[in-house]
Amino acid sequence: MAKTKLAIIGLGGVAQIVHLPVLSKMEDAEIVAVCDTEISKAKSIAVKYNVGKYYREADKMLEENPEISAVIIATQTNMHKDIAIKCLEAEKDILVEKPIARNFKEAKEIIEAARKYKRKVMVAMNNRFRNDMMMQRTFIKAKEIGEVFYIKAGWIKPQSSNQRWILEKDKSGGGVFLDNGIAMLDLGLWIFGFPEVKSVTATNYHHSTKSVEDSSIAMVKFKNDAVFTIEASWGMLREGELFYCNVYGKEGSSSINPFKIYKRMDGNLYNITPKKLATPANYFKKSYEYELKHFVGAVRGSNNVISSGEDALKVMEIADAVYKSAKTNKEVIFK
């Protein structure tokens, strides 16, 4: 079977650490072109990974390579919208690194273009593809802990990148919430099944940053009375990284990192966590491998898109509300 031909635009950390090494080893995919505003970087990476073509301009790459089926967009966030729309107009499916855009308005323009040109959009929420997250969601969807009424999730870790644009609001769109918090927001909404939002309340802190927040605490209330709280920080003073998603149902609870599940039976609470779990040594690496295999499968028509552009639009609407609430110090009510 012919390989799916891909291109990558934006050759920073995530492209070099994840996309290029993973895709170059996949039997059903081929990277035919790479693109970066720093042409020397594009050239050296093309040589390293035996990629036939390299470019500075996305327009030229798209024009000269009609055989490309899909494009991975891993540029800085302020470039996502324009590049995504160009790719969609060229009738390419796209995988966009998180966040899909700087705000809901930009995200909506991308999704409207995808609808117009009937193309697939996937957002790189790789944490959905962690083994423990997939197991947790499977148990929850099977009603093992009953109806979920509360999720508490968080990600406290050093800044993902030392690139200057991350701390410039006009380029990144926001700070730690759009970097780490949005991944936790996506996970919680995915587990809940994207219920209707009632309101959002948030507080952002700028302890060691100026134009973007370095810590964020948010609460989302849903119309079904469920509640979701998220904490994200680059600078909370604690030992090591903290990544968690605790889910509470009427008949039990579940958590990840490590994965645990408790269920009430006959009036007692039992640990029903499977004893033999396939736990990879590197959740981070494996989650990206599964994500990229899933995306290529979706492009080939083998499976539907998980972490779709439509999901991202709902996530970005709440993200906008987080920033509005933090700025106004008021609860944002959804109509």
Q: What is the pLDDT of residues 118-135, one digit of tens each?
A: 999 999 999 999 999 999
Question: What's the confidence (pLDDT) of residue 296?
Answer: 98
Start-end of CATH 3.40.50.720 domains in the chain: 4-125+288-303
Summarised one tens digit per residue, pLDDT across range 31-85 is 999 999 999 999 999 999 999 999 999 999 999 999 999 999 999 999 999 999 9
Question: What's the confidence (pLDDT) of residue 176?
Answer: 98
* pLDDT means over runs of 10, the chain (335 residues): 95 95 96 98 98 97 98 98 98 98 98 98 97 95 97 93 90 97 98 98 96 97 98 94 97 95 97 80 86 98 96 98 98 96
For residue 154, give both structure tokens: 């968080």
Question: What's the confidence (pLDDT) of residue 160?
Answer: 77
Question: What's the confidence (pLDDT) of residue 279?
Answer: 63
**Can you tell me the distance from the alpha carbon of 43 to that of 318, in angstroms, rounded to the nearest whole number?**
39
Q: Which residue type is seen at 24?
A: S
| DSSP category for residue 205 | E
Question: What's the confidence (pLDDT) of residue 10?
Answer: 98
Angle (nearest 5°) at CA 16 between 12 and 18: 115
Does domain 4-125+288-303 bear CATH number 3.40.50.460?
no
What's the predicted TM-score (pTM) here?
Answer: 0.96
Question: What's the confidence (pLDDT) of residue 278?
Answer: 63
CATH number listed for the domain at residues 128-275+315-333: 3.30.360.10
Helical H segments across the chain, by residue range: 13-14, 20-23, 39-48, 58-64, 80-89, 104-117, 131-141, 169-172, 176, 182-192, 283-300, 309-328
Start-end of CATH 3.30.360.10 domains in the chain: 128-275+315-333
Question: What's the confidence (pLDDT) of residue 280?
Answer: 61
Question: What's the confidence (pLDDT) of residue 159?
Answer: 85
